Amino acid sequence: MAEVIAILNQKGGCGKTTTAVNLSTSLAISGKNILVIDMDPQANATTAFGLEKNEDNSIYRVLTGQQTLDEAIVATEISGLDLLPSHISLSGAEIELSKDIGFPFILKEAMDDIQENYDYIFVDVPPSLGILTINSLVAADSVIIPIQAEFYALEGMADLLDAMNLVETRLNSPSPIKGILITLYDSRTRLGRDVYQNVKQYFGETEFIFKTTIPRNVKLAEAPSHGKPCVIYDEECVGTEAYNNLAKEILTMKGQKVEET
Ligand SMILES: Nc1ncnc2c1ncn2[C@@H]1O[C@H](COP(=O)(O)OP(=O)(O)OP(=O)(O)O)[C@@H](O)[C@H]1O
Ligand SMILES: [Mg+2]
């Protein structure tokens, strides 16, 4: 059974998609079978893999019951890595889905048939705490929270942790934190180091924070315009090195998959 990991933070631009794309590719290169689910109407993960934002195959059609998840999945150029693409049509889904009383469980139920096929499923979550995020949390076994090393890094974190608590208590669906990932990090600046310390203080238990940090690296920003994950676009750059290290760290962690009894 796949371990399902949602990558979320309602703060925009903190590196969720960059992490989903590069971590998943690095794990696929190391031989794991991976599915990336692009839950964001912006479809940034879809374009980062060089794929079309195609309305015919999309998470929108899965969530609205027009397609099974298996039907909507497409292969990427990377061996062992499949994608469930997104499309802007998903932006209208929130209202549509909220009419369904079972809306928080739609993604989880849709994943039932394909979980056996993968080692890891990563969900790239949009920057909001709406229905798409709740669906992602319910479907996830654990979450990775990327935090950008900047002054406002922890703003909104209490709301995010509240949302996670609500999903755990009200929907009986816990998603423990797999790790906090410090992104866009520059250890040479005082601000970078300060933010790192603040995040450590905020979360108390340092084992929550990945040992790997992701540096600010222009190659990571450039790669999506070439339709390639950075770990393939430039195998040598420091951004690639960091995501490869993160992949190794994930592989040595105990899976948080709780088998259903
Ligand atoms: N470590 C990094 N170094 C340099 N640029 C980065 C890095 N991580 C992300 N970026 C760039 O910063 C921007 C935001 O990153 P990304 O799209 O991964 O964030 P996000 O959290 O998914 O954003 P959104 O909330 O809009 O979904 C992108 O242009 C991306 O290429
Ligand atoms: Mg994104």
* The pLDDT of residue 206 is above 90: no
Nearest CA to ligand 1 atom 14: 13
| Local confidence band at 16 (pLDDT 50, 70, 90 cut-offs) | very high
Name the nearest CA neighbour of 232 among 30, 7, 22.
22
Please say if the pLDDT value at position 7 is more than 70: yes
pLDDT of residue 220: 98
The answer to whether the CB of 231 falls within 8 A of the CB of 240 is: yes
pLDDT band at 260 (very low <50, low <70, confident <90, very high): very low
| pLDDT band of 180, cuts 50, 70, 90 | very high
| Distance between Cα 199 and ligand 1 center (Å) | 19
Protein residue with its CA nearest to atom 20 in ligand 1: 13
Which residues neighbour 158 within 8 Å (Cβ) at sequence distance 6 or greater? none
What residues are paired with 5 via a beta bridge? 122, 142
CA distance 95 to 80: 35
| Residue 27 near residue 204, CB atoms below 8 Å | no
Confidence (pTM): 0.96
Residue 121, pLDDT > 60, answer yes
Q: Rounded mean pLDDT of 47-65?
A: 90
What's the mean pLDDT in 160-183?
Answer: 95
Give the pLDDT mean for 49-55: 85
Question: For position 258, what pLDDT does the model report?
Answer: 47
15 CB near ligand 1 (under 6 Å): yes
Q: What is the share, in percent, of the chain residues with pLDDT greater than 70?
A: 97
Write out pLDDT tens, residues 216-254: 999 999 999 999 999 999 999 999 999 999 999 999 997
- Among 239, 235, 132, smallest CA distance to 183 is for 239
Element holding 142 (H helix, E strand): strand 142-148
- Which pLDDT value is given to residue 29? 98
Alpha carbon of 21 to ligand 2 centroid (Å):
10
SS3 6: strand
Q: Is 242 in the pocket of ligand 1 (CB under 6 A)?
A: no
pLDDT in tens, 125-163: 999 999 999 999 999 999 999 999 988 889 999 999 999
The number of the ligand 1 atom at minimal distance from the alpha carbon of 127 is 25
CATH number of this structure's domain 3-247: 3.40.50.300
- pLDDT score recorded for residue 257: 55
